[in-house]
Amino acid sequence: MAKKLDTAQLRSLIPLNGLKTDTLRAILDKIELREASRGQTLFKKGDTHKQTVYVLSGTIGLVEGDKVVQTIAGGTDEARSPIDPVLPRQRTAVAADDVKYISIDSEFLDVTLTWDQTGIYEVGDFGTEKLKETGDWMASFLHVKAFQNIPPANIQTIFMRLEQVNFKAGDVVIKQGNAGDYFYVISRGRCMVTRETPLSDKGIDLAQLTVGDTFGDEALLSEAKCNATVTMQTDGVLMRLGKEDFQALLKEPMLEWLNQDEADKVVANGGQWLDVRLPSEFKVFHKDGALNMPLYVFRHKLNMLDRGKQYVVCCDTGRRSSAAAFVLKQKDFQVFVLTGGLKQGEA
């Protein structure tokens, strides 16, 4: 059963304790507070569902075979970190008594950490009023899968260049068969996506879109005609990005990715692990000899790095490290990115 959370409950958790207060407030509705009774399973060994789980109260047992190998109680130091985070799950988590726990989409959490620590919520050129108006859709925008590997610097520029357009209920925003000219984000209102077929000139309803949803990207990426019509169901406000900006800003930087063995060889030959996670995450586990330079202070500490050295940038997924590597590339550092991120058992 989903319950309501507040930011105070998240402040002791790693790495949520590193998020700005405004960011925590913005993502509250993406975090589920759940309850489990004694004997109920939170997750099973072998699960690959990308959820980050924390125990807030009560006790869980981590089970291997038919034996409880570890217990974790809410409020303890162990409970500050995600429970059994490696996928697939290494153990089964079972409630030992009545438990309250939270579950967060791991991809969403990583995107939020990356953009929070690179200042996406501090886009100065928007102006106070515009930021106030767009706060809801910007928070929803964090959850868009298409944007999860875009460099934060590009995302910031995208926010700068988005154009606000007002529409009335019934207005056609995109017409099936026309060339795609813009990428759209819904700031206010609702849209309906329909597709004409040989059997239905009026069109078949495909999806209803609301605040934070996006459309128009498929035609721009494929250089094809629009494959559906998008019509305003209500009065609303859309943010749009022109075709040239879309194509230029949504391309990933050219980064060199290494698997674990390749990265180990670079380090063995004089390279350096550069861990851009938060200090609290770094403390839980890290590569031997790694330098910890959290992403949120990264730009201010580049003078600590040696331009003659090769760096393998790492985090827990590869997303924050790719953002850091983008910055290093711009400054002409020799940099690689660890594919897939760190795994606790391999650190």
Q: Over the stretch 39-62, which tens digit does the pLDDT of each residue have?
A: 999 999 999 998 999 999 999 999
Q: Is residue 113 part of a domain?
A: no
pLDDT at 8: 85
* Amino acid occupying residue 92: T
Would you say residue 325 lies in a domain?
A: yes
What is the pLDDT at residue 144?
A: 54
**Range of the structural domain that residue 297 is part of:** 257-346
What type of residue is 299? R
Domain presence at residue 236? yes
Position with higher pLDDT, 200 vs 269: 269
What's the CATH number where 332 sits?
3.40.250.10
Pick 30 or 53 by higher pLDDT: 53
Instruction: Inform me whether the pLDDT recorded for 275 exceeds 70.
Output: yes
| Per-residue pLDDT at 205 | 84
Mean local confidence (pLDDT), 235-245: 90
Query: 275 and 220, same structural domain?
Result: no
> Could you read off the pLDDT of 316-344 as tens digits, one per residue?
888 788 878 877 876 778 999 999 889 86
110 lies in a domain? no
Query: What domain count does the chain have?
Result: 3
Residues 263, 243 share a domain: no
2 located within any domain: no
Q: To the nearest whole number, what is the mean pLDDT of the chain?
A: 83
Asked if 220 and 264 sit in the same domain, the reply is: no
Q: CA separation (Å) from 343 to 81, 84, 87, 148, 237?
A: 14, 11, 9, 20, 43
Share of residues in the chain with pLDDT > 90 (%): 44
Residue 172, SS3 per DSSP = strand
Using only the alpha carbons of the chain, give its radius of gyration: 23
pLDDT for position 108? 79
**22 within a domain of the structure (yes/no):** yes
**Closest alpha carbon to 175 in 210, 235, 216, 204:** 216
Q: What is the CATH classification number for the domain harbouring 76? A: 2.60.120.10
Dihedral angle sign, alpha carbons of residues 11, 282, 258, 91: negative
The residue type at 177: G
Split at pLDDT 50, 70, 90, the class of 125 is very low
- Return all residues near 129 (Cβ < 8 A) that are at least 6 apart: none
Do 98 and 156 belong to one domain? Answer: no
Pairing between strand 59-64 and 67-73?
A: antiparallel
In a domain, 1, yes or no: no
CB neighbour list of residue 191: distance below 8 Å, 6 or more residues apart: 173, 208, 209, 210, 213, 215, 230, 231, 232, 233, 236
pLDDT value, residue 141 = 61
The reply to whether 157 and 244 lie within a common domain is yes
Give the pLDDT score at 236. Answer: 93
pLDDT of residue 335: 92
Query: Which pLDDT score is estimated for 127?
Result: 33
Residue 120 pLDDT grade (very low, low, confident, very high; cuts 50, 70, 90): very low
Any idea which of 91-95, 154-158, 199-203, 303-307 has the lowest mean pLDDT?
199-203
